[in-house]
Amino acid sequence: MIPYPHFKPYIVKIGPLEFRWYGLMYVLGFVTSYLLFQYQVKHGKRKIENLTHQVVENLYFWAILALVLGARIGYVIFYNLPYYLQNPLKIFAVWEGGMSFHGGLIGVVIAGVLFCRKYKLDFWRITDMFVPTAPPGLFFGRMGNFINGELFGRPSNLPWAMVFPEGGNVPRHPSELYEGFLEGIVLFTVLWIIKDRIKTRGLVLAIFLVLYGLFRFLVEFTRQPDPQLGYVLGPFTMGQILSSVMMLAGVLLGLWRLAAERKAVRAGA
């Protein structure tokens, strides 16, 4: 067993104000994504007309707002709807925790479609550039979960199991670290390598959906189910159900984009 490195949830505390690690992780994720996107704008092989510096800044404003709103609404709907129906004002109490990646993803996709229509941009080209920048944010987010001692794993007797402050006197999987490694480091490496090699527009997004869904589905077997939900369908958690839908959506999207690309090539031949 490895001792859990106890952290204070905040970096600096000034009176009632607390600057928390989790908030810093969000900022690091957004900044890293923005810098990687700008790098592609300047040095990438794909050049997109109308993608000025101001447009990129507007894109990130939309994306950040959609991510936060989507993640919160997704958590309310997917993970604790009965509670929030009885306590609607608690929906706005984001400082109490409760964000859903799948909800955030839906929010960003919707915002991306609307943004590209407004600015007359190719949605698929934008996603091909934007999607590979997302995994670092996922990595930082999971590190924030680990620092907060939340979303920990199920009981384990493995040598690297840890006793989390809120997990009882039982060694558990550090599932946040598993997710940070797979969803952050591995996924980023794969997407960054293939992003310029794939010619089919939108296929990078499809691959992201499949791989993230697969990684999340597997890690959920080591992660403690949400206490208010437990297991949703047999031995599966809500995270696994949503990730299964995500994988299916990725497969269908990939097949659709490949078929559309072949059709376009034949029409141009």
Please check whether residue 136 is in contact with residue 32, taking contact to mean a CB–CB distance below 8 angstroms. Answer: yes
Q: Which residue has the tokens 């189910």?
A: 225
pLDDT of residue 206: 97
Three-state DSSP at 223 gives strand
pLDDT of residue 213: 97
Amino acid in the structure at residue 261: E
Three-state DSSP at 153 gives strand
pLDDT tens-digit series, residues 22-60: 889 989 999 999 999 999 998 877 778 788 999 999 999
pLDDT of residue 250: 97
pLDDT of residue 2: 86
pLDDT of residue 268: 65
Give the number of residues written for the chain: 269
Q: Which residues of the chain have pLDDT under 50?
A: none
Give Cα separations from 161 to 30, 142, 147, 209 (angstroms): 31, 17, 15, 29
Would you list the DSSP string of 12-36? EEETTEEEEHHHHHHHHHHHHHHHH
